[in-house]
Amino acid sequence: QVQLQESVPGLVKPSQTLSLTCTVSGGSISSGNYFCNWIRQPAGKGLEWIGRIYTSGSTSYNPSLRSRVTISVDTSKNQFSLKLSSVTAADTAVYYCARETNENPIDYWGQGTLVTVSS
């Protein structure tokens, strides 16, 4: 069974770039046909979709974040990556990576990683 695990960046300073990776285990990215979605959740609040990337590299982003977001894939490391630039305190949240397939909507999620933006 595919499992996803986000990296732990911890604290990011305002105006800097947040960088996260999602490591996939239980199968090779290059042999799968699915999307990796990035979703975030501020403490005590709801879920916000950030964007997604297909295993081929095709991307889609939330228009509200598009100017600051880059999602990429590294098949050699079996990882997906998220970069969010020019962060502010409003970007403080738990960030999740989650899989979506042609058969299923977003089905399996990583455990999530808390990113705090603070000086």
Residues engaged in binding other proteins (CB under 8 A) = 37, 46-49, 52, 60-64, 96, 98, 100, 104-112
Judged by CB, which is closer to other proteins: 4, or 73?
4
CB of 75 to other proteins, least distance (A): 24
Instruction: Render the burial of 47-57: b for 16+ CB within 10 Å, e for the rest.
Output: eebbbbbebee
Nearest distance in Å: CB 36, other proteins? 13
Q: How far apart are CA 36 and CA 4, in angstroms?
A: 10
When the beta carbons of 5 and 75 are compared against other proteins, the nearer one is 5
Instruction: Give CA–CA dist 7/38, Å, rounded.
Output: 13
